[in-house]
A and B are shown apart, each in its own frame.
Chain A
Amino acid sequence: MDYQQLLLALLPDLLVVVALFAALGVDYSRMRGSRLAKRYEVACQISAAGLIGGLAVLVLQIGGTMPVMESTVDGQLVLNTGTLTLKALLYAMGLGVLPLAKRDQVTQQVSEYFALLLLATLGMGFVVTNRNLLGAFVALELVSLSLYAMTVLNQARRASAEAALKYLTFGAVASGFLLFGLSYLYGATGQLDLTQMTGLTDEPMLVLAYLLIFVGLGFKLALAPFHLWAPDVYQNAPTPVAGWIGSGSKIAAAALLLALLQPVFDSPKLKDSLVLALAALAVLSMVVGNLGALRQTNLKRLLAYSAIANAGYLLVGVVAFSAAGNTSVIFYILVYSLASLGAFGVVAVLTDTLGREAEINDFNGCWKTTPGLAAAFLVFVLSLAGIPPLAGFFGKFYLFFAAIGAAPEAAAWHDGFYWLVAFALIMSVVSLYYYLRVLKAFLVAPADYRAAIAPSKIGWAAGITLCSLALAVVALGLWPEPVLTLLGH
């Protein structure tokens, strides 16, 4: 193996790691005794520098000016346009989380906060570029462990600790299932490299392996019935962290799910035995997520249930088992994450420094006090609801398109996936009710005493983040083709 090439290929990750240690080092040496705000400022800048550097290298790699090797032994690294694009987008979104984290100074352990954020981002980057059972698992654990730790960062809140404990316990069990499944997969195929696995049969061991994998990844994706941790964690983690759990980690988990299912593509028998399980998870998640969201009064909890529902829609694209299906899943999780991060960003700006719990009523009259934020929130929520011309609509449309395209010649209604798509469509109509209820607070309700509490300053970095997220959601809806081409490779 050529180490120089490996170094070049991993340069983005290296830059992030350097920034991570720099942030820790500076915070513990030079910044000792400085004001908290100053420490946040410096740690945030160093982390941002690392991510921007990594992003720049990634763009060069994708553009071809800095050619990288396609893959290494055992699929430990698979660097093609698709995976690199995904990694770049994750870095960019991680960059967006930083200013939000800086605004709300929840903890005294400043550099640890940012180091954990960088670690999580690093891990996500590894998950999406990894096609090796062990490597991917380790990378996913890196993400999860960082997220567990970040959830508990707000030591002033008891609920935060409780949520983190719940997250950790459920997460550990889920990781156990995942590892169990991966080991069965390895046992049945004798391969660690996912790109080399071929000719899978429908022997019970493989079916069991995949079912165990679904349990493990179902937890990460917050699929019902493995979703129980989500509402508590979303509500009680620091809001930027909740945003990152609801976006970046979802992208990583979805990408891993697709990578693990790739070997199934050319073994129709195994596919048939897995489709039903996936479809059942999809239906259950859509029902639990959408019906659960109807009665929430807390916006962050509502977003958690919406995440569960959206994970359900996601599986509609997975069951297609086609190239179009894979692209649609990645595209959908991407636009979902952008919108979800944006929505959490708005919530963070409007609640965090103001000591609010993000009850839906707290946002009454936002159109008057913070019209820009209300408009951005409108874009994010309508995208989550799947209203054109926003990206969420096209994402959902593509999922359904792929699902029906997998078997369009249905003789009866239960052939193909017409029934699943119809169910998902009905559930999207239901979801509109609670999305509109939230928008009602932001845009319709008269400005009452609550509206008087508005953030004095949003901060330019957070402002730019929210603006670019909103623009991305609009642009990807109007013209998704370039990103589809990049991701389709």
Chain B
Amino acid sequence: MTALLTIILSFIGALVCGLMPSSAHRRIRWVALAVAAAGLVVSMVCCVNYSETDGGFNKEDLVNEQWIQSLKIRFITGYDGISLPLLLVTGLVAVCGVLFSWNLEMRANQFYAFYFTLIGGVYGVFLSLDLFLLFVFYEIAVVPKYFLIAIWGGARRQFAAMKLVLYSFGGSALVLLGMLAVFFLAQDATSGKALETFSLLDLQQDGEVPREAQQWIFPLIFFGFAIMAGMWPFHTWAPTGHVAAPTAASMLLAGVVMKLGAYGCLRVAVGLLPLGAEAWAPWVAAVAIINIVYGALVALKQDDFKYVIGYSSVSHMGFVLLGIATLNLTGMTGAVLQMFSHGVIGALLFALVGTVIYSRTKTRMLDELHRLIDRMPAIAWVFVAAGLASMGLPGFSGFISELYVLIGTWESESLSGWIVAGAGAGILLTFGYTLVKIHEAFFRERNPSPDSQAETPYPPMTLPEKAGVALLLGSALLIGLCPWLLTDKISPSLKLMLD
């Protein structure tokens, strides 16, 4: 039951915040912080309690109840080493999202109602072990995004919100079709009888979908989920959505919502349809490389700071997809680790650009920023650290995860050398755009200087901002230095899934 608390608390939090008057925004933000922190604490407790040495689902915390008997749908939740890092990152980003929206006043009650509905849905996806339940939570997570962006977003918010939601639902339509096919076509591996179950536990343990069916179900489910993970060429919702969203929402989008898609690809598509995955792996890898390289190239060309981060997300999610496409333990461990790593670092970058820097400079256009390194030195150095972390500097989690993915790609027999070369090029490009953009944003002098205000320093970081930065950067550093904290949990579970 412990893990279920994350979901229950989030939904209760949504209800409580929604019912408070919006004039009480000071009280609301404390309630919100408490709810988000409670979610994080529960995830950490789950992490500590996780004791399965073989990588299976935690038996003490497995909920398995009848739900809708007529359709053989059960309510099953539980977690293993794959879900744990994602639960943690959700908790972290949720807390920091509140911290970086500390000054929000407009319709604060409704903001947090939608915010926690989204977070509850995200926790739900990571905990669901029944396909139907997973899908329900997956869709619950979509609708609040529309309102978060359309109400509290920036320029072009209506367009961005609608685009994001339609892309998400387009993806989930594919998933639903694939899911129904799995239900009816999965057979018992030994007796060959139809299983007719949505339970991931049963499907993974004794289920087997016929080979020919896997060939066409796999792309439905995988690409359906991958749309949410920002897969090229269906990635365009991500940059526009991220940019138009308010900071907390873009942190959630980059930090956890894109991971929902990747998690679905991993747990459902690859987990249930290994034969389909084998057949489609080269295609997935090719698309992943396009993601990495194309995302990096486009990021290099952007003038709007937030678009740079938006496209860097697309590029980084390419590593997740590439890791999944390797279909071996090393690569997939890297993929899960990259989900955690990008969740933390991506959220941090969006927080820095969307709130910390923007609230001071009132512009996000790179060519309007002037010598920020002198005018906001602390913030600038934090950003440089975050940028380096995102680039994959040793010592940060991004380095470990990308390394795992690259080694996995190298080891993989089905992927050609070109893929490794492409990934390598992608890493070089990442170095390139990160350094170039850091230079443009912080170290460049605009000439001539526009007005007398241009030299005055900006106010320092506030306490909530400092706390948020410390949490996110700290976790990236912690995992970068002690990756075994997560890999020891991820690898056994992946091994179990792959066997």
A interface residue numbers (CB < 8 A to B): 324, 327, 367, 382, 387-389, 393-394, 397-398, 400-401, 404-405, 408-409, 413, 418, 421-422, 425-426, 428-429, 432-433, 436, 440, 443-444, 479-481, 484-485, 488
Contacts and interface: CB of A to CB of B under 8 A. Distances in A.
Interface stretch (B46-54, B139-147, B410-418): B139-147
Nearest to B210: A409
B146 A436 contact: yes
Nearest to A374: B110
Contact of A425 (B69, B142, B158, B177): B177
B376 interface: no
A372 B67 CA distance: 30
Contacts, number: 81
Contacts of B174: 425
Interface in B223-263: none
B147 A443 contact: yes
Given A418-B177, A422-B177, A429-B170, A388 B68 contact: no
Q: Interface SS of chain B: helix, strand, loop or mixed?
A: helix
B181 interface: yes
B143 A429 contact: no
Contact of B139 (A393, A400, A404, A408): A393
Interface stretch (B161-169, B285-293, B307-315, B338-346): B161-169
Given A393-B136, A443-B151, A481 B162 contact: no
A391 to B, nearest CB: 12
12 contacts: A324-B70, A382-B143, A388-B140, A408-B181, A413-B216, A425-B174, A425-B177, A433-B162, A436-B165, A444-B147, A480-B68, A488-B70
In the A-B complex, the 10 residue pairs with the smallest Cβ-Cβ separation, listed nearest first, are A408-B184, A425-B173, A388-B136, A444-B150, A429-B169, A404-B180, A484-B70, A388-B139, A444-B151, A429-B170
Interface in B404-449: none
A432 B184 contact: no
Contacts of B162: 433, 436
Given A388-B140, A404-B181, A443-B151, A432 B70 contact: no
Contacts of A409: 184-185
A440 B146 CA distance: 9
Interface of B: 67-71, 107, 110, 132, 135-136, 139-140, 142-143, 146-147, 150-151, 158, 162, 165-166, 169-170, 173-174, 176-177, 180-181, 183-185, 216
A386 to B, nearest CB: 9
B173 A426 contact: yes
B354 to A, nearest CB: 20
A86 to B, nearest CB: 17
A484 B140 CA distance: 23
B151 to A, nearest CB: 5
Contact of B166 (A405, A432, A481): A432
A33 B185 CA distance: 70
Nearest to B196: A405
A412 B136 CA distance: 29
Contacts of B216: 413
Given A408-B185, A428-B173, A432-B166, A389 B180 contact: no
B184 A425 contact: no
Given A400-B176, A425-B177, A433-B162, A389 B140 contact: yes
Contact of B143 (A367, A387, A480): A387
B180 A400 contact: yes
B70 A425 contact: no
A89 B177 CA distance: 32
Given A389-B140, A425-B173, A429-B173, A481 B180 contact: no
Given A409-B185, A444-B158, A488-B70, 4 more contacts: A422-B173, A429-B173, A436-B146, A440-B158
